Amino acid sequence: MNGTWSDPVAWATLAPLFALAGALANGLFGRRWPEPLPGIVAGVAVAAAFAVSAIAFVGLIGRDAGVALTLWSFLPVAGLDVSVGVVVDALSTTFLLVITGVGLLIHVYSVDYMRDDEDNARYFALLNLFVASMLVLVLADSLVLLFVGWEGVGVCSYLLIGFWFRKKANADAGRKAFIVNRIGDAGFVLASFLVAATFGTLTIAEVNAQAGTFAFGAGVLTTIGLLYLVAATGKSAQFPLHVWLPDAMAGPTPVSALIHAATMVTAGIYLIARLSPLYAQAPAASAVVAWVGVLTALIAAIAALAQTDIKRILAYSTISQLGFMFVAIGVGAYAAAVFHVFTHAFFKALLFLAAGSVIHALHGEQDVRRMGGLGRRMKLTGTTALIGTLAISGVPLLSGFFSKEAILGGTWNSTLVEDYGSRVLFVLLLATAGLTAFYMFRWYHRVFAGPSRLTKDAAAKVHESSSLMTVPLVLLAAFAALAGFLGLPSFAFPNWFKGWLAPALAQVPTLHPPLWVEWLLVLASIVVAAAGLFAGWWIYERGKGAIAAKAGGGALGRFAEGGLGFDAAYRAAVVGPAEGVAGGLAIADRDLLDRGIAAGVTGSSLIGRAVAAWQSGYVRLYALAMFLGLAALAVVAAVVGGRP
């Protein structure tokens, strides 16, 4: 497993350095560069990272073991011997390709999208810094270095959400994301402490190897699994820490596509996949992962039904799709989870960039109630968005169909969480898949189809975006359509993706029901997708949205639109009390502790008089007091201590 630089696979180590160099160049000098040089420099950096990732991918095909490289010692303390080192294997390389590949397209798109922004260079510096951090996260060979990337992407996310910081709401959204993520990070840190205490190491490969020797279901593995789950719910916006992601839409739309759809939010799935040998030994923790996932998927899908902001609908959709991935990773269908990360990266990045194209054309308009019919004026954007919509809805042969089917089948056939209601999980997830098709149809229809609800001014200015923005859309649409064929249903067809990832993931036994059951599961997911789309058509095309308007105006509609009341509840139950306690402590510290001690001390007359005396020349008197103290030391030492 130990590699050397002569192995081309190891060159993937350079990927984060390329991105970091791009970030530094833009951060230090970009402000003086003529536009579009900042974007070009940033794009070239990511292209270089993509190139070494692709080399690693080619080099790894047909090889079982990955390549590990230790760079320098980091925390050589108490036998932990944590190094800065990388592992390039099938799992990390899959993520490398997604991050740099989708990342490159989004950089290209950004060149035009951010063309008129005065802080162009800051934008590209942060985008590159994000890519560098994310690459560190997926390449790390230890949990400590993984955490370096983990918090690095959090910081970049924070800065990019609040990119337009002059508006308070944007800065607030960034702050909220950072604090919620910090709550999750506390789980990460505590989990790592427990790992160190249990295994005596923080190197991922050693942790996984040792976890395999523990008893199935050992309590400590469950605890570790649950603590890392806390971290994953923060970063991947899962219940109950999902509340930051809808607000994160305050950032520029390409940021939403890259960070808050395709890459960073999948870090939680990556973490658990990376530790899959540990989770495979911890069925209770895995079951909690799956249940968190299915609850999140359902909650977010319901919230998505009622949103009116073109990006917020997609944000809730992302939360919901991440929930699907959590179910997969919880039931032990690790390859299916990563496969959905892979396909989702294409169709969700596509949907966000299409939304960005619309927002661009409408000069900042984001309310779908003032859109409609745009597909006729923006043919490329509309067509690619349709492909994305159908892919996420699970229309057969598009990528989302295959990855979602793999998750549903994996849930039905799970042995890992068989005792924790795997069949109920399946039913809830299937229903959510139907909701997904419905709310995505609604999204597409409100934006691109039906009659135009644009103001006259806006309608006059609508235009298709430039090719810098549409070429990425077309490429992403191609992948969103075709990527699924890499992972055909494995009960009947060759599944290349599963085989490729197999060496890097734990293998959990699954149930093998009769073939007709497997086909029935496929049929079920086709039926719910069709039903969801049909219901959308029935309500929004045929019924002109009248029923929806009525439902949306009711109490339930408002409840869903407000994200099911989580923000309000947290404000009342957590934020308010915490601020109250902090404020109370601040007052107590000054008025009780400080004044109390002062009163106690100065109250005694002796010290009071001493203070009065000192007030004239305290420093000199202090010198005198110190001299006397030293003299005392000398005398006492001489008398008591004596010579040896």
Partner 1 sequence: MIAALMVLLPLAVALALPWAKRPAVHRPLAVLGVAATLALGVFATGGAGSLEIAWVPALGTWFAVDATGAGGVLARIAAAVMLPTVLWAGARVDDRPQVFLAWLLATLAGLVGIFLARDLVLFYVFWELTLLPALAMLAGWGLTHRRAATIKYLLYAVAGSFAMLLSVLAVRPLSGAEGYRFDQLLAAAPLLDPLTQTWIFAGFAFAFAIKLPIFPLHVWLIDVHEQNHPSGAADVAGTLYKVGGFGLFAWAMPLLPEGANALAPLGLALGAFTAIYAAMIATRHANLKRALAYASLSHMGIVAVGLFSLHLAGQAGSMALLAAQMVTTGGMFLVSGMLHDRRGTFELEAFGGLARGAPALAAATLVVLFASVGVPGLANFPGEFLSLLGAFQSAPAAAVVAVLASIALGAFAVGLYQRLFQGEAREKAREIKPLEVAVFAPIVALTLWLGVAPAANLTVFEREAVAAHAAAAAVAPPADAQASGGER
Q: Considering beta carbons, is residue 10 or 146 the nearer one to partner 1?
A: 146
Q: How far is the CB of 273 from partner 1 (least distance, A)?
A: 21
Among residues 492, 573, 597, 624, the one that binds partner 1 under rule CB under 8 A: 597
- Residue (of 447, 291, 457) closest to 369 by Cα position: 447
519 near partner 1, rule: CB under 8 A:
no
Which residue's CB is nearer to partner 1, number 527 or number 581? 581
Give the one residue of 523, 573, 601, 624 binding partner 1; rule: CB under 8 A. 601
CA-based nearest residue to 411, from 307, 337, 503: 337
Rule CB under 8 A: say whether 607 interacts with partner 1: yes
In the complex, the smallest distance separating the C-beta of residue 218 from partner 1, rounded to whole angstroms, is 18
By CB under 8 A, name the one of 35, 51, 175, 366 that touches partner 1. 175
Q: Looking at residues 105 to 144 of the shown chain, list those that interact with partner 1 (rule: CB under 8 A).
A: 119, 122, 144
Return the number of other C-beta atoms located less than 10 Å from residue 496's C-beta: 13
How buried is residue 309: exposed, middle or buried, by Cβ count under 10 Å (0-12/13-18/19+)?
middle
Pick 61 or 619: Cβ nearer partner 1: 619
- Judged by CB under 8 A, the residue of 186, 226, 284, 468 near partner 1 is 186
Q: Which residue, 550 or 595, has its beta carbon nearer to partner 1?
A: 595
Stretch that binds partner 1, among 53-61, 252-260, 431-439, 618-626 (CB under 8 A): 618-626
CA neighbours closer than 13 Å in the CB half-sphere of residue 199? 26
Q: Count of H helices and E strands in the chain?
A: 28, 2
Within 8 A by CB and 6+ apart from 139, the residues are 12, 13, 15, 16, 86, 87, 88, 92, 96, 149
* Residues in 247-266 that interact with partner 1 by CB under 8 A: none
Q: Which residues of 3-42 are buried (b: 16+ CB within 10 A; e: fewer)?
A: beeeeebbbbbbbbbbbbbbbbbbbeebeebebbbbbebb
Q: For the chain, how many residues are written?
A: 644
**Which residues, 46 to 105, sit near partner 1 by CB under 8 A?**
72-80
542 versus 643: smaller Cβ distance to partner 1: 643
Q: Which residue among 47, 51, 200, 366 contacts partner 1 (CB under 8 A)?
A: 200
**Shortest Cβ distance from residue 362 to partner 1 (Å)?**
25
- Kindly report the number of other CB atoms within 10 A of residue 515's CB atom: 10
* Residue nearer to partner 1 on the CB measure, 5 or 627: 627
Q: CB-wise, 130 or 150, nearer to partner 1?
A: 150
71 backbone φψ class: left, alpha, beta (φ>0; ψ -120 to 50): alpha
Shortest Å, Cβ 162 to partner 1: 6
Nearest approach in angstroms of CB 459 to partner 1 is: 32
For partner 1, give the closer residue by CB, 20 or 205.
Answer: 20
Report yes or no: 328 and 286 within 8 Å, Cβ to Cβ: no
Q: How many residues bind partner 1 (CB under 8 A)?
A: 79
- Binding of residue 291 to partner 1 (CB under 8 A): no
Q: At 451, phi and psi to the nearest 5? A: -75, 155
DSSP alpha helix (H) spans, 376-421: 379-393, 399-412
Nearest 10 degrees: Cα torsion 133, 135, 139, 140: 0
Q: Which of residues 16-35 bind partner 1 (CB under 8 A)?
A: 27, 31
Shortest distance, position 604 Cβ to partner 1, whole Å: 12
Return the bridge partners of 367, or none: 309
- Which region holds residue 565: left if phi is over 0, alpha if psi is between -120 and 50, else beta? left
Q: Report angle CA 587, 592, 594 to the nearest 5 degrees.
A: 95
Tell me how far, at minimum, the Cβ of 463 lies from partner 1, in Å. 31
Nearer to partner 1, 80 or 458 (CB): 80
Would you say 152 or 434 has its CB closer to partner 1? 152
